[in-house]
Amino acid sequence: MLVALERIERYRGRGFAIWSGKLLALAFFLPALALGSGVYEAIAR
């Protein structure tokens, strides 16, 4: 676990944190978008 954290700290300077952050944002955004459109369709009916 500590080794993994050290590696993340090392890659942070190379834009690893930005890349993983974008990936996480996408992972949360897509289901939220699908859920939001489903709710919108339910209201539209």
Q: Taking 70 as the threshold, does the pLDDT of residue 2 lie above it?
A: yes
Phi and psi angles of residue 20, each rounded to the nearest 5 degrees, phi first: -70, -35
In one-letter notation, the amino acid at residue 6 is E
Q: Sorting pLDDT into bands at 50, 70 and 90, what band is 11?
A: low
Handedness of CA 13, 16, 7, 25 (dihedral sign): positive
Q: Taking 80 as the threshold, does the pLDDT of residue 23 lie above it?
A: yes
In one-letter notation, the amino acid at residue 29 is F
* Domain boundaries defined on the chain: 2-44
What is the helix (H) or strand (E) element at residue 42, kind and residue range?
A: helix 16-44
Q: What is the pLDDT of residue 1?
A: 64
The set of residues, in sequence order, having a beta carbon less than 8 Å from that of 11 and lying 6+ positions away, is 17
Q: What is the pLDDT of residue 13?
A: 65
Q: Sorting pLDDT into bands at 50, 70 and 90, what band is 20?
A: confident
